């Protein structure tokens, strides 16, 4: 099992550019999440989805968009990148609450 796969692992963006962070899971999990982690800090929830076609905002959604057209995929879109979006982004998935989450290995994004 691959688990949760995130691509790319590293990316440098210029201010104002856009990109999509990809996330795929092969565990047939209904719930998927996007978190960001700034240096020395805990994770903050950006968006989450409880199933295909259903998404909702987390704590820090500004500057991001998501879609969930299939159970497996949950891409995160950054429009007009800003230096404040420099962070490590983690995608996660789970079957149901209160089950444990499975996290991907992260995407390290730098906006310059």
Partner 1 sequence: DAKTTQPNSMESNEEEPVHLPCNHSTISGTDYIHWYRQLPSQGPEYVIHGLTSNVNNRMASLAIAEDRKSSTLILHRATLRDAAVYYCILRDLNSGGSNYKLTFGKGTLLTVNP
Which residue in this structure is represented by tokens 């076609």?
Answer: 53
Question: E strands, the chain, where?
Answer: 4-7, 10-13, 19-25, 31-37, 43-51, 54-57, 64-66, 76-78, 87-94, 102-103, 107-111
- The answer to whether 39 contacts partner 1 (rule: CB under 8 A) is no
- Under rule CB under 8 A, residue 74 binds partner 1: no
Q: Which two tokens stand for residue 7?
A: 């691509």
Q: Which residue in the set 8, 59, 80, 95 belongs to the binding site for partner 1 (CB under 8 A)?
A: 59
Instruction: Specify the stretch interacting with partner 1 by CB under 8 A; choose among 16-24, 55-63, 72-80.
Output: 55-63
Residue 85: strand, helix, or coil: helix
Q: Which stretch binds partner 1 (CB under 8 A): 13-21, 44-52, 63-71, 75-83?
A: 44-52
Q: Between 4 and 66, name the residue whose CB sits nearer to partner 1.
A: 4
Question: By CB under 8 A, is residue 41 in contact with partner 1?
Answer: yes
The DSSP 8-state label assigned to residue 62 in this structure reads T
Q: Point out which residues bind partner 1 (CB under 8 A).
A: 4, 31, 33, 35, 37, 40-45, 48, 50, 56, 58-59, 90, 92, 97-98, 100-106
């Amino acid at each position: 099992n691959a688990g949760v796969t995130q691509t790319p692992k590293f990316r440098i963006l210029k201010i104002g550019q856009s990109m999509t962070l990809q996330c795929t899971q092969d565990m047939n999990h209904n719930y998927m999440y996007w978190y960001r982690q700034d240096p020395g800090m805990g994770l903050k929830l950006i968006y989450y989805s409880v199933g295909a076609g259903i998404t909702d905002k987390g704590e820090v959604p500004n500057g991001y968009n998501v879609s969930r057209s299939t159970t497996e995929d949950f891409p995160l879109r950054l429009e007009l990148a800003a230096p404040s979006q420099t962070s490590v982004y983690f995608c996660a998935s789970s079957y149901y609450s209160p089950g444990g989450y499975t996290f991907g290995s992260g995407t390290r994004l730098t906006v310059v």
